[in-house]
């Protein structure tokens, strides 16, 4: 047993952003990837890779597509059990479904059960890294990081902080949010493949004192990420205006409290003012586009074309459980449809880039994950482009690989995920090789 594995198939890699030119994405027929000690050590032609490592184990995926595992830039793993809850708008949905469910995560056993369930479900959908909100309970963070660590998985997560406008059992304070977040990031940030994101939920559920405390914590630990929500629904924005009347706009609240920076990830970012867009672009902050959530909760249509043209750092996200699926294929399909409603057709290469490199860039992890290139960590997904009869008959008519991939993006689900590798290890539960 050499520990070397060669995966053969059609290999998809990016050499740049497909928003900047068509040559940025390449799919190599009879391609191969060699995996060793958790890394991608070579990408190239199947014959050459086999000749270079004759002792390697070979898994031949035929004409399936092998690419980087999907990266989900914004999720709430504690909302796994309430995904697809009917009929509410954001604040009502939070109060009716989300907050009652999140109160259960003070129970460490329940937190462990849902963390395991969430990571099983997402692995089955080919999602190998995600950036998750936890609940206010440190136990919910411990449960998530422990589960990811045991799986050798690269994840980012943080304790959600709220000290007002939430049920009593879900409130911390400015001081306890600072203390608990600091203890958790000291314990977990940079351990194995784990990263910490300081996590004020959003401006309405934090007092100015809490936002300041978390801004101070970020200044003390600038290598951590920071995640929050921004300008998701118009009624939310109205509420925020009333709570922070002195602020120029929503983003200004975060900036005033030390919570605007390049390592910040701003979920949704739909109804942005021109000033907010300019500040985000100047800062190099990341926007997490959550299209299934934005249609499901009725939030609005993200301006992908305009924001990309402005040079914004954009990642793609399911927003589980405001989003209606764990699948990044379903999320890409929704991103396509939302862009269409704004008069713009995203190319399949752009959708796949957003779900991998784009999200990895949003998390400042693109030097490690999100692309099937030599040197990166071996987080991989293998796509079956004929996973259902409906998709198979469409793929048969495809004029090129992008048309075939587009059918799977628009109609595929976990049945299209033939194999998943996390940190150089095959996920046994998923493999349909």
Where do contacts with ligand GUN occur on this chain (CB under 6 A)? 76, 90, 94, 98, 201-202, 229, 232, 293, 297, 319, 322
Instruction: Tell me whether residue 90 or residue 143 sits nearer to ligand GUN (CB atom).
Output: 90
Instruction: Tell me whether residue 195 or residue 322 sits nearer to ligand GUN (CB atom).
Output: 322
The distance of closest approach from Cβ of residue 20 to ligand GUN in the complex, given in angstroms and rounded to an integer, is: 30
Binding site for Zn ion (CB under 5 A): 267, 319
The distance of closest approach from Cβ of residue 293 to Zn ion in the complex, given in angstroms and rounded to an integer, is: 7
> CA of 121: how far to CAs of 98, 101, 102, in Å?
19, 19, 19
Residue 293: contacted member of Zn ion, ligand GUN, none (CB under 5 to 8 Å, by partner type): ligand GUN
User: What sign has the CA pseudo-torsion 302, 308, 313, 316?
Assistant: positive
The distance of closest approach from Cβ of residue 232 to ligand GUN in the complex, given in angstroms and rounded to an integer, is: 5
| Backbone dihedral angles phi then psi of residue 428, each to the nearest 5 degrees | -55, -40
The distance of closest approach from Cβ of residue 10 to Zn ion in the complex, given in angstroms and rounded to an integer, is: 34
User: What sign has the CA pseudo-torsion 325, 326, 327, 332?
Assistant: positive
What span, in angstroms and rounded, lies between the C-alpha atoms of 50 and 55?
A: 8
Which of 90, 88, 74 has its CA nearest to residue 238?
90
Instruction: Please report, in angstroms and rounded to a whole number, the separation of the first and last CA atoms in the chain.
Output: 20
Instruction: Tell me whether residue 69 or residue 267 sits nearer to Zn ion (CB atom).
Output: 267
Q: Give the number of residues written for the chain.
A: 433
The distance of closest approach from Cβ of residue 339 to Zn ion in the complex, given in angstroms and rounded to an integer, is: 20
Residue 231: contacted member of ligand GUN, Zn ion, none (CB under 5 to 8 Å, by partner type): none
In terms of C-beta density within 10 A (0-12 exposed, 13-18 middle, 19 or more buried), how is residue 200 classed?
buried
CA contacts within 13 A on the Cβ side of 267 = 29
Residue 249: contacted member of Zn ion, ligand GUN, none (CB under 5 to 8 Å, by partner type): none
Instruction: Tell me whether residue 63 or residue 96 sits nearer to ligand GUN (CB atom).
Output: 96
Name beta bridge partners: 57: 5
The distance of closest approach from Cβ of residue 376 to ligand GUN in the complex, given in angstroms and rounded to an integer, is: 30
Residue 64: contacted member of Zn ion, ligand GUN, none (CB under 5 to 8 Å, by partner type): none
Instruction: Tell me whether residue 228 or residue 371 sits nearer to ligand GUN (CB atom).
Output: 228
Residue 98: contacted member of ligand GUN, Zn ion, none (CB under 5 to 8 Å, by partner type): ligand GUN
Residue 232: contacted member of ligand GUN, Zn ion, none (CB under 5 to 8 Å, by partner type): ligand GUN
Instruction: Tell me whether residue 80 or residue 293 sits nearer to ligand GUN (CB atom).
Output: 293
Instruction: Tell me whether residue 270 or residue 418 sits nearer to ligand GUN (CB atom).
Output: 270
What span, in angstroms and rounded, lies between the C-alpha atoms of 417 and 433?
A: 10
Name beta bridge partners: 410: none
Chain centroid, CA 136 distance in Å: 20
DSSP states of 6-62: EEEEEEEEESS-TTS-GGGEEEEEEEEEEEETTEEEEEEEHHHHHHH-TTSEEEEEE
- Residue 38's H or E segment, with its range, is none
Instruction: Tell me whether residue 19 or residue 202 sits nearer to Zn ion (CB atom).
Output: 202
The distance of closest approach from Cβ of residue 160 to ligand GUN in the complex, given in angstroms and rounded to an integer, is: 8
Residue 195: contacted member of Zn ion, ligand GUN, none (CB under 5 to 8 Å, by partner type): none
The distance of closest approach from Cβ of residue 73 to ligand GUN in the complex, given in angstroms and rounded to an integer, is: 13
Which of 152, 80, 83, 72 has its CA nearest to residue 112?
80
């Amino acid at each position: 047993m050499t520990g070397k594995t060669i995966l053969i198939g059609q290999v998809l890699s990016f050499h740049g952003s497909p928003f900047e030119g068509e040559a940025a994405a390449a799919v190599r027929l009879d391609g191969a990837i060699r995996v060793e000690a958790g890394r991608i050590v070579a990408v190239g032609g199947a014959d050459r890779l086999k000749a270079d490592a004759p002792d390697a184990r070979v898994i031949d995926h035929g004409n399936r597509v092998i690419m980087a595992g999907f990266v989900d830039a914004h999720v709430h793993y504690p909302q796994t059990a309430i995904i697809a809850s009917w009929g509410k708008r954001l604040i009502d949905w939070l109060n009716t479904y989300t907050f009652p469910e999140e109160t259960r995560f003070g129970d460490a056993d329940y937190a462990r059960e849902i963390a395991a369930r969430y990571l099983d479900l997402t692995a089955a959908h080919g999602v190998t890294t995600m950036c998750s909100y936890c609940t206010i309970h440190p136990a919910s963070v411990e449960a998530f990081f422990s589960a990811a660590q045991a799986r050798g998985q690269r994840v980012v997560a943080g304790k959600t902080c709220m000290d007002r406008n939430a049920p009593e059992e879900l409130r911390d304070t400015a001081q306890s949010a600072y203390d608990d977040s600091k203890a958790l990031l000291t314990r977990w940030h940079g351990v194995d493949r784990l990263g910490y994101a300081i996590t004020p939920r959003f401006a309405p559920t934090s007092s100015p004192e809490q936002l300041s405390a978390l801004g101070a914590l970020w200044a003390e630990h600038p290598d951590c990420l920071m995640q929050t929500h921004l300008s998701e629904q118009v009624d939310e924005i109205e509420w925020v205006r009333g709570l922070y009347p002195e602020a120029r706009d929503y983003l200004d609240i975060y900036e005033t409290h030390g919570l605007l920076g390049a390592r910040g990830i701003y979920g949704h970012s739909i109804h942005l003012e021109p000033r907010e867009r300019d500040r985000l672009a100047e800062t190099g902050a990341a926007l997490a586009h959550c299209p299934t959530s934005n249609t499901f909760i009725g939030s609005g249509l993200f301006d992908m074309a305009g924001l990309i043209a402005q040079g914004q750092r954009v990642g793609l996200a399911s927003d589980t459980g405001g989003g209606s699926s764990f699948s990044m294929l379903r999320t890409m399909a929704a991103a396509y449809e939302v862009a269409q409603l704004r008069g713009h057709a995203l190319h399949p290469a752009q959708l796949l880039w957003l779900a991998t490199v784009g999200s990895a860039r949003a998390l400042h992890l693109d030097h490690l994950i999100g692309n099937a290139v030599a040197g990166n960590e071996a987080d991989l997904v293998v796509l079956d482009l004929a996973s259902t009869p409906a998709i198979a008959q469409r793929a048969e008519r495809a004029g090129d690989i992008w048309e075939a991939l587009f059918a799977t993006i628009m109609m595929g689900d976990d049945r299209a995920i033939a194999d998943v590798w996390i940190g150089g290890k095959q996920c046994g539960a998923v493999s349909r090789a």
